[in-house]
Amino acid sequence: MVADRRYEIICESSGSRPNAIITWYKGKRQLRRTKDEILNNTTKSELSFSPTVEDDGKFMVCRAENPVSSTSLFLEATYKLSVVYPPLVTLQLGSTLTNDDIKEGDDVYFECHVEANPRFTKLSWLHNGIHLTHNASARIIRSNQSLVLQKVTRNSSGNYACSALNSEGETVSNQLPLRVKYAPVCATDKVVLIGAAKDESVEIICDIHADPPARKFRWKFNNSGEVLFLDSERFSKNGTRSILLYTPVTEQDFGTLSCWAINEIGEQSVSCLFQVVLAVTPSPVTNCSVSNYTREVAEIQCTSGYDGGIQQRFVLEMISRKTKAIKYNFTNADEPFFVLDMLELINAKLIEENDSVFIVVYAVNQKGSSIGVIIRDLELGAVQKLDRVDNLIVVAGSQDTLPYFIGIIATILIVFIFIAFKIISVCWTQDSSSKRTSTAPTTVTTSITHNEQNGATKLTNHSNNLLIISSYNGGIKNGINNNVGQAITTFTSPTSSLKSNKPQILDDDVDRDPDVIPPYHQYGSSISTTEEPYSYKSFQQQDAFHLISTSMLSRQAARSINEEIKERLMNAKVPESCV
């Protein structure tokens, strides 16, 4: 028989006069759920019976008695019950253990009690619903109907169960919770970044796990220069959490904060770490691209920039070209990746409104938002030509980007001013050079005499420290006075009047004296011109004079001036030593 299944059992008796009375017994207990039928001298009794697990091995008895017999004669039919059922499983903690006294490092064992008919063929162990296997290296040992856990840790805590399997099914035991006490540990094994500005107060939350809860917390500040333990008045505590209100004032106040706790099991071995950094707004995203673009869906992927020292998230906004208002927005807390769906519906609505949008992606943290980046490869709505907008635009919350734009504008202005200055300088130099090619400044000494004998006119009665240039009918010859010192170059035209005893200063006008030798000297293919034509260094008497210049003309102007000099020298018959 199968446990809990209903059966109909029939017992018949015949030959008794009067007819026999039939009664049923299970063990010594009489069963009354029967239906009797008498036919001729035969009595038939039908018992409705549902065996239980406890009925396995008991005896079922059918007894027939003559109701008038004084000797109580009766007959019995006995049947031994064999009830099959799925395993009955019970889990217990080892008899020598107390659940409230187990701590990290202790050994723990469980006992699994199983009743089954037929006998179970498989026994399994579970921890929080996950099957455990024999693993000696992990200190999990299975032995018959026992499970041994060596040197348990806080991760060993949880609900344990065992299960047994036979031909009638599998049964899982009761859940047995195991509590393993342990010293405090940090809720996260990562260093937590805390972004703060100078003189900004921030709450730093230190969460720990401990069983039993912590009864004391400690905080420590550390930078490259000092280690400082913080007073308990500066932070609060409630067993599993401590909150510190921290305000960095100087650069030395940015560093690492450590938090640890103590409970009845012991002191926390590894502290919780918080890195306090000077926080700024995040950097813009880069390398944005559009992929898998259809009428309904598009994917936008960008590369994140510097997070500003604290956690950032990413925002995509669709902004109306008409009103500059935000039409739609999307947010991703992990990466700058967005899947835009329902594009066909959005596009139809924008066309109906005769509007369009441009798409902007930017990063946001606690300190503000980055510069937004326009996605130019995706436009929705009544598409119009996008007005000239830089690839980077300022979006809400990014007022810190104003200095960047001021710097860009200032740089452009400086470049334009520099280019304009260079153009004006070149034009001015060329204009000045063209004038000097036809005019030469002339300084005449205080007296001029004419020598009829050699046909030459000489400058005499000159002052000291003057370089004397003798004038010939055919040209100019160099001369110098006897005084040693700074020399001043003087020029006189071979066709100028020699009758006046007054000093003469030549005009810069080319038309007044076109035959004056221009103050240039050619070296190779370049022409030099003097910025200050009246001041030169001293030099000794020689057959030719040289004028050293400090500014350069263009190659085209040089050729023109060179030809002019040659033409005038040939016309004036200047001696070869002056060429």
3-state secondary structure of 383: coil
Residues 554 and 441 in one domain: yes
pLDDT score at 217: 95
- Parallel, antiparallel, or unpaired for β 108-117 and 146-149? antiparallel
- How many structural domains does the chain have? 5
pLDDT score at 195: 86
Three-state secondary structure string covering 440-485: CCCECCCEEEEECCCCEEEEECCCCCCCCEEEECCEEEECCCCCCC
pLDDT score at 367: 85
CA distance 356 to 320: 6
Q: Which domain holds residue 316?
A: 286-397
Is 203 in contact with 244 (CB distance < 8 Å)? yes
3-state secondary structure of 61: strand
Average pLDDT, the chain: 75
Residues 6+ apart with CB under 8 A from 220: 227, 228, 229, 230, 257, 258, 259, 271
DSSP β-bridge partners for residue 374: 360
pLDDT score at 220: 95
CA distance 201 to 360: 33
168 or 390: which leads in pLDDT: 168
Domain membership flag for residue 562: yes
The two tokens of residue 35 are 């239906």
568 or 553: which leads in pLDDT: 568
Mean pLDDT of all residues in 422-440: 63
Residue 392 has pLDDT above 90, yes or no: no
Is 549 in contact with 500 (CB distance < 8 Å)? no
Residue 447 has pLDDT above 50, yes or no: no
556 pLDDT band (50/70/90 cuts)? Answer: low
DSSP β-bridge partners for residue 530: none
275 pLDDT band (50/70/90 cuts)? Answer: very high
Residues 196 and 340 in one domain: no
3-state secondary structure of 369: strand
pLDDT score at 364: 94
Mean pLDDT of all residues in 362-388: 79
Classify residue 169 as exposed, middle or buried by CB count within 10 Å of its CB (0-12, 13-18, 19+).
exposed
Residues 445 and 567 in one domain: yes
CATH, residue 51 = 2.60.40.10
558 pLDDT band (50/70/90 cuts)? Answer: low
pLDDT score at 517: 40
226 pLDDT band (50/70/90 cuts)? Answer: confident
Residues 244 and 320 in one domain: no
Last residue of a domain, one of 144, 160, 178: 178
Residue-wise pLDDT for 14-28, tens only, equals: 888 888 888 999 988
The amino acid that residue 465 corresponds to is N
414 pLDDT band (50/70/90 cuts)? Answer: confident
E strand map for 155-197? 158-166, 169-172, 176-178, 182-186, 192-196
Residue 560 has pLDDT above 50, yes or no: yes
Of 200-209, 345-354, 465-474, give the lowest mean pLDDT range. Answer: 465-474
Residues 244 and 127 in one domain: no
Mean pLDDT of all residues in 510-529: 38
Residues 6+ apart with CB under 8 A from 112: 89, 90, 91, 123, 125, 145, 146, 147, 162, 164, 173
In 10 A of CB 488, how many CB atoms? 14
pLDDT score at 526: 34
Mean pLDDT of all residues in 326-348: 90
Query: What is the DSSP-derived secondary structure letter of residue 225?
Result: S
pLDDT > 70: percent of the chain: 69
472 or 352: which leads in pLDDT: 352
Domain membership flag for residue 403: no
Classify residue 179 as exposed, middle or buried by CB count within 10 Å of its CB (0-12, 13-18, 19+).
middle
3-state secondary structure of 49: strand
567 or 422: which leads in pLDDT: 422
Residue 496 has pLDDT above 60, yes or no: no
pLDDT score at 143: 84
Domain membership flag for residue 415: no
pLDDT score at 577: 43
CA distance 505 to 523: 29
Q: Which of 167, 163, 168, 169 is nearest to 142 (CA)?
A: 163
Residues 362 and 290 in one domain: yes
Is 347 in contact with 380 (CB distance < 8 Å)? yes
Of 63-67, 352-356, 529-533, give the lowest mean pLDDT range. Answer: 529-533
Mean pLDDT of all residues in 219-231: 89
Residue 528 has pLDDT above 70, yes or no: no
Residues 6+ apart with CB under 8 A from 341: 296, 297
Mean pLDDT of all residues in 441-459: 39
Residues 566 and 455 in one domain: yes
pLDDT score at 433: 57
pLDDT score at 331: 93
Prediction pTM value: 0.48
Residue 5 has pLDDT above 60, yes or no: yes
Domain membership flag for residue 404: no
Last residue of a domain, one of 45, 80, 115: 80
169 or 15: which leads in pLDDT: 169
Domain membership flag for residue 579: yes
Residue 18, preceding bond cis, omega within 30 degrees? yes
Q: Which of 1, 28, 29, 23 is nearest to 11 (CA)?
A: 23
Residues 58 and 126 in one domain: no
Domain membership flag for residue 73: yes
Residue-wise pLDDT for 130-167, tens only, equals: 999 888 888 888 888 999 999 999 999 999 999 999 99
pLDDT score at 562: 66
Residue-wise pLDDT for 69-112, tens only, equals: 766 678 889 989 999 999 999 999 988 888 888 999 999 999 99
Residues 456 and 516 in one domain: yes
Residue carrying the six token digits 């009743």: 115
CA distance 254 to 222: 9
pLDDT score at 431: 61
Q: Which of 496, 529, 487, 196 is nearest to 366 (CA)?
A: 196
Residues 474 and 560 in one domain: yes
Residue 190's alpha-carbon distances to 272, 385, 485, 499, in angstroms, are 8, 49, 83, 103
Domain membership flag for residue 408: no
Mean pLDDT of all residues in 210-222: 93
* Cα-to-chain-centroid distance, residue 293: 26
Mean pLDDT of all residues in 389-403: 42
- Parallel, antiparallel, or unpaired for β 7-14 and 182-186? unpaired
Q: What number of CA atoms fall less than 13 Å from residue 229's CA on the CB side?
A: 5
Residue 114 has pLDDT above 90, yes or no: yes
pLDDT score at 474: 39
Last residue of a domain, one of 162, 178, 194: 178
Domain membership flag for residue 439: yes
463 pLDDT band (50/70/90 cuts)? Answer: very low
Residue 384 has pLDDT above 60, yes or no: no
Buried b (16+ CB within 10 A) or exposed e, 247-270: ebeeeebbbbbbbbbbbebeebee
Which bin fits 46, alpha (ψ -120 to 50), beta or left (φ > 0)? Answer: beta
pLDDT score at 507: 37
Mean pLDDT of all residues in 440-468: 38
Mean pLDDT of all residues in 380-384: 69
Residues 329 and 242 in one domain: no
To the nearest 10°, report the CA torsion of 77, 82, 85, 89: 120
Residues 529 and 462 in one domain: yes
